[in-house]
Amino acid sequence: GESVGLHLPTLSVQEGDNSIINCAYSNSASDYFIWYKQESGKGPQFIIDIRSNMDKRQGQRVTVLLNKTVKHLSLQIAATQPGDSAVYFCAVKLLSARQLTFGSGTQLTVLP
Amino acid sequence: EPEVTQTPSHQVTQMGQEVILRCVPISNHLYFYWYRQILGQKVEFLVSFYNNEISEKSEIFDDQFSVERPDGSNFTLKIRSTKLEDSAMYFCASSLTGTGSAEAFFGQGTRLTVV
């Protein structure tokens, strides 16, 4: 099976600083990795994904890094804004599977 | 922007009663999912559905649960005899493709409270 865990349940950052949220997974056969953002009362919202044949992918203000050697995934948010305050989940999937396995979530709080 | 919609947003039911949670996936998507999230815990996979049949299910998805696509737009989750521990947020999701790097779009969720 697969287990996915986040390193910190909560993270507070000053507005304008960079945020780093980390995630560890257990199954080395995992092929696809996704970060979701969940705001209060809403469903998970896709942020960025990465395939196992890559180690870095950039989006708008977000970067995902994948280290397959230590089975570690991170999400970097540049110039964190108040609207970034939410719970962030990593999720992993086998390429051949349909289900996502989610981590436990990190509550990001952006301080003014 | 297309979105997955779920109804109701909140459902309160008595233990032992049947509930049906409804979802309208994104119209051109072919794969449908139900996930649940117990308060303060991880989002957990329940079931995936494709071509009018279940393609994967988790240990949580026991005989009390069933899914159906009764028409061309709705996707439902039925819990036959609810238990207190079924209280959770239930999320429906859909994706265009099933395997591979298929982005799953989630609905806003239905909060189920069993009393």
- Candidates A98, A104, A107: best to mutate against B (most CBs of B within 10 A) is A98
Q: Hey, what's the torsion of the CAs at A77, A46, B8, A39, to 10 degrees?
A: 0
Residue showing tokens 């999701």: B93
pLDDT digits (tens, 9 = 90+) for A31-63: 899 999 999 888 999 999 999 999 999 999 999
Query: In terms of CA atoms, which chain B residue is nearest residue A40?
Result: B108
Partners of A32 on chain B (C-beta within 8 Å) are 100-101
Predicted confidence (pLDDT) at residue B2 exceeds the cutoff of 90: no
State residue B102's pLDDT score. 66
CB distance A98–B91 less than 8 Å? no
Give the least confident one: A18-22, A26-30, A51-55, A63-67. Answer: A26-30
Partners of A98 on chain B (C-beta within 8 Å) are 31, 33, 48, 50, 55-56, 98-99, 102
Predicted confidence (pLDDT) at residue A1 exceeds the cutoff of 90: no
CB B92 within 8 A of CB A44: no
CB distance B48–A103 less than 8 Å? no
pLDDT digits (tens, 9 = 90+) for A49-99: 999 999 999 999 999 999 999 999 999 999 999 999 999 999 998 877 888
Buried b (16+ CB within 10 A) or exposed e, A70-97: ebebbbbbeebeeebbbbbbbbbbbeeb
Of B101, B105, B109, the CB nearest to A32: B101
Hey, is the C-beta of B58 within 8 angstroms of any chain A C-beta?
Answer: yes
Mean pLDDT throughout B93-107?
81
Q: CA distances (Å), A13 to each of A19, A36, A46, A85, B95, in order? A: 7, 19, 22, 10, 33
